[in-house]
Structure 1
Amino acid sequence: MKKAVVLPIVAAVSGVLLGCGGSSGGSSGPSKTQFNLEFRKADIQDFAVNNNCLIHDRSYNELVEGDNVIVESEVMFVSPITTALNNGLYIQLSKADGSLVNDSLAYTSNGKASFFLEDIPDAGYLNVVELFGPYKYVTSFSKEYLEDNRSVLRNMMLDVKQPIANLQCMTGSSLAMSPVSVKYRNSEDIPGSDIGSPTYYYQSDLKEVGSNNLSIDASYDLQALRGDITSVANYRGSDNSSLRQYGFADWGTEAEMVYTGEVAQVFQDNGIYQDLEVGVSYKNITKQLAQISLADGESSYYYPLNKNSNESWAITAKGAPVTNWSNTLNMPIVDEAYSIDISSNESKLFSLSHLSDGAATFANTDVKSLEVNMGAYINTAMANDGYQRISIVPRNSSPIKQHTIYSELKDVVVVPKIEFIDAMSMETALVEQSYVFKNKSDDLDIRFFMDSFTTQSVFGADNESHGLLLGESERRALEADVAKIDYMILSNQ
């Protein structure tokens, strides 16, 4: 058998690490930080024909056709690739200038590979390279990106790009789906002058059901996944902008809803944001309780005088700062400061005044690496803290079909030179840019950022080659945790 490893990268075969040194306690040198990659193939199929495969994500939609309700539901499952890509998938190190580290290429074995963080050159990258016919799909992670996020990225399960026949999906206990039965009563704190709508809206992670009754049973078909805590909301008008009272299913049998009689203001200076969502993270779930228009530059929303100790409220604003760009700004309510100055919150993370409409420029460096310069229209040096994902699709005769780079914030990116890419041929290239900005003091789980590209890709957008694969329960808890901190997602897609 051929030797599968050339140091400094090591490959993991059937759980055995090939190579020298490491963090396992030998006497050959200082301890090193080992990262483990496991590659699997993500696919989708109709929920109705899912053959006991462990569900990692799902879409759920109901269509009304006459008297009938048609449920459209697809599920994502993953399969170990075993030996299918032993000769078509490898990892390799590169330096800050884009040049490759000699003797650092290692093919995966049984869909697994490992490497040591300390072996990546400073400002260099760990590169995942997949051979797909005459093309290569590449995903690169900078050393700083991996080092900053090692607590959650040391063991990564990643997707592969190409279809692989005759794989066996992972099986296991997926989150069961079943109809909800729940009963509430109106809040005793509602004054007689606060007249509300007679409709109550019951919400799960999958759907929402409206009813004039304070209780629903299985006949209402509010489908929910195991572990979901469903919510109920009641409004003052015919839409969901003015929350009157709300509740969560685990408050008890015939639980009393909480009255929202306090009013807070939301305003902005720049006119970027049009819509706001008022959300609540409760235990390990997140629910949207109100949606507000900010078309006039300011608005208001209702909140309770005394909320549950397990609740964390947040305002999420969505906008389009310049042509071809969109952003989402999450602002948790801290220290009961319910009134929100959106522009002030934005500027603490990254002021969108440092963004303009423009196009990246390209050049080849002295060592023939491709340099992508985005500094003419975005200045990430003005950000508090964060990370970025830059994905390049050459659209020319280059053997690189797509190269995606996860890294710390930088406006000039030197692309690891897996293959030579001529800067002169990049005029028609597609450059996708996505950023997550945060406060330095906040611990944002970077898997939240990475996961969004995986789910988009598998369910149709097809813009990620080696996406991070998470389970449904992980994703649900992750979304609830991240909703409790300030962050902004900015993207030109």
Structure 2
Amino acid sequence: MKKTQMLPLAAIISGLLVGCGGGGGGGGGGGGAPATPKYTWQMLSLNSIERSAVASGCSIIGQDESDVNGTKVIAAYEATANYNILFHDENGAITATNQADSDGRFVIDSGDVPDGGYVSLEEIDGSIQGTQDVYMFTVSKALLSDMTVNVRQHSSTYSCYQGEQSQKVNVDANAAVKVDQVDVNTSYYQSSYIDNSVNGNTIASGIKVNSDVPASHNVLVTLFDTHSSGESRDLSHYAVMDASYVYDSSQGSGSQSGLPTDENIVKPVFTATGLTLNNASKIDVEIDNEIHTWQPIYESGQVYGVIDGSSVIDNWSFDIEASTDVASGSWNAKIYDSVDSAGTTVALPTLNALTASITNTGCTDYCLSADGYVVSDYQIQRTHLRSSNNNNRNFYQTIFAAPNKGQVLMNSTDEVLNIDNNNDRLEVSLAQLDTESEAQVKQFFAHNIDPQVLISSAIPNYNDVNGLLSMASDDKLRRIEIMGSEVQFYQQGVN
């Protein structure tokens, strides 16, 4: 297994703006002190709207899955009100309060942020009789980069954000492909269209595909010798077909048939001792810049198939969702790992049951007091608090910084925390990653952001209220870049 790089957070270099709106980078000039790095934060709010009402060039984050008619999308708008951009010192005290420009952008000059300090988006929400909710998203100075950042409140006066539009795949219930029957032992034919959209059939013809007709992208079909209780095992063959192979099954059986092959397929073992996998775990493959599902992974010790040689598949990755065993504290795990022709073994860090509370001992104001993990095993920590202020209004904070069991909390411009360790929700997320890879760092930042949650009133556990917003293709591009690397995220919460 490749050793995880243990680099200081200050080594993180940001080179890519997530989305389309503004850019960072320091200026230059002759003589004098070198310019300090500058980073642009673009603040956006999201709103559900009919796709037909979104103007040309305006950004669409994705489909609104709560819309029963399937016609609404989640659109992005430039947020310009009801928030501050705060600079904090190493103790969380505010050193400067700033406002974004008329387009919802703010350029952070890192030279203005105290060493060891932080930058926060502080959203002020729902003023009632002089009291208000506070939602904060905080990044340590060492982790600053260009970002598009969500603001929860939306206003009808906001202008649309110019950027990428997510395109909906209009799945035709009759879309299908067929392949030659090459093995009498085949029990299931799984189809995978783009974005891991899977379907299938128990026979070689009429294999359902989650695509439109005519289709626009390749279809991957993988053959399995065992199919029982909804589980497909013993991968034996595969076929990659271009879009022209997809036909309308209501109009006949199609004119083209794919030819499955078992050339260079080897069958090593996946080992992840101490993990219980859920049904979303799988092997992903990249074909022509799109991500398809190669096969599901159900447990440690499972035999998997992989091509040991050249093929039309560009990249491979395990994409594992699991929990650690009880002895390791039952942490939720998200793991990306290389798909090795000699077998892949996931090495878990030492974890125990999370203990976490907020204290004012050993810090200027409030700070985390946590245990259950070894700080040196990780490169970034997410600390998430759901508490209240003295007026019993929400006071939420999410902080991304170096791993620290005593992470300080940030001060607000107006409200004061009223800590109740018996009821406050506390979450700790930990990342093993290469800090020089922006794709890996940004994937961790985005891990607890769900646009569908951001436009709803309910906020489930392990979901941030404010944070890094990804445009439609960002997640896919990051996942493709991560393929072949080892990246591990763990999270656990109390209350």
Task: Give the TM-score, by structure 2 length.
Answer: 0.75
What's the CA shift for 1:246? 2.2
CA displacement, residues 173-207 of structure 1 (integer Å, 9 cap, x when unaligned): 635435687867549xx6x6x62136452433274
1:360 aligns with 2:360: no
SS of the residue 2:428 aligns to: strand
1:56 aligned partner, one-letter code:
I
1:259 match: 262
- Are positions 1:205 and 2:205 aligned together? no
2:135 & 2:486 partners in 1: Cα distance?
A: 33
Write out per-residue CA displacement over residues 369-418 of structure 1, whole angstroms, 9 at most, x where no aligned residue: 211111x322222x1x4212211111352666211111122221011222
* Partner SS state of residue 478, structure 1: helix
Q: Distance in 2 between matches of 1:162 and 1:477?
A: 28
Equivalent residues of 1:327, 1:488 under 8 A apart? yes
1:142 matches 2:140: yes
User: Which residue is equivalent to 2:395?
Assistant: 401
CA-to-aligned-CA distance 1:120-146 (integer Å, 9 cap, x gap): 222110122222222322211101122
Distance 1:108 1:274 in 2: 42
2:314 partner amino acid: E
For the residues of structure 2 that align with 1:127 and 1:459, how far apart are their CA atoms? 21
1:79 equivalent to 2:72? Answer no
- C-alpha spacing 1:365/1:135, structure 2 compared with 1 (3 Å): farther
User: Does the 8 A contact of 1:183 with 1:215 survive in 2?
Assistant: yes
Q: Do the aligned partners of 1:203 and 1:232 also contact (CA within 8 Å) in 2?
A: no
What is the CA–CA distance in structure 2 between the aligned matches of 1:366 and 1:280, rounded to whole Å?
A: 47
Following the alignment from structure 2 to structure 1, what is the Cα–Cα distance between the partners of residues 26 and 194? Answer: 46
Distance 1:230-1:174 versus aligned 2 partners, 3 A rule = farther
Q: 1:468 to 1:233 in 2, by over 3 A?
A: same
- Quickly say closer, same or farther: Cα 1:229–1:201, change in 2 above 3 A: closer
Kindly provide the amino acid, as one letter, of the partner of residue 38 in structure 2: Q
Bigger relative contact order, structure 1 or 2 (CA pairs below 8 A, ≥6 apart): 2
- The answer to whether the 8 A contact 2:433-2:440 is kept is no
> How far off is 1:264 after superposition?
1.0
SS at match of 1:448: helix
Structure 1's 200 and 36: CA in aligned 2 closer, same or farther, altered over 3 A? Answer: closer
User: Which residue of structure 2 lines up, in the alignment, with residue 117 of structure 1?
Assistant: 110
* Equivalent position SS for 1:477: helix
Amino acid at match of 2:185: I
Change in 2 beyond 3 A, CA 1:241/1:48: farther
Q: Structure 1 residue aligned with 2:445, among 433, 438, 450?
A: 450
TM-score for the superposition, normalised by structure 1: 0.75
Q: Which residue of structure 2 aligns with residue 3 of structure 1?
A: none
Point out where structure 1 has 5 or more consecutive residues left out of the alignment.
1-14, 63-69, 147-152
Q: Could you tell me how far 1:474 is from its partner in structure 2?
A: 2.4
Go from structure 1 to structure 2 and tell me whether the alpha carbon gap of 1:443 and 1:92 turns closer, same or farther (over 3 Å shift). Answer: closer
- 1:98, distance to aligned residue in structure 2 (A): 2.0
* Aligned counterpart in structure 1 of residue 41 of structure 2, from 25, 31, 37: 37
Q: Does 1:476 align with 2:458?
A: no
| Aligned residue in 2 for 1:299 | 302
User: Contact (CA 8 Å) 2:44, 2:78: kept in 1 or not?
Assistant: yes
Selected match of 1:236 from 212, 217, 225: 225
1:282 and 1:311 in contact (8 A); partners too: yes
8 Å contact 1:95–1:122 — kept in the other structure? yes
Structure 2 unaligned spans of 5+: 1-20, 246-255
Alignment RMSD? 3.8
3-state SS in 1 of match to 2:226: coil
Hey, what's the Cα distance between the residues in 1 that align with 2:27 and 2:216? 37
- TM-superposed CA distance for 1:30, in Å, is 2.2
Q: 1:312 to 1:433 in 2, by over 3 A?
A: same
Is the 1:200–1:233 contact (alpha carbons within 8 Å) kept by the matching residues of 2?
yes
Distance between the aligned counterparts of 2:189 and 2:236, measured in 1? Answer: 11
In the alignment, which residue of structure 2 is the partner of 1:195? 185
Q: 1:179, 1:222 within 8 Å by CA — same for their partners in 2?
A: yes
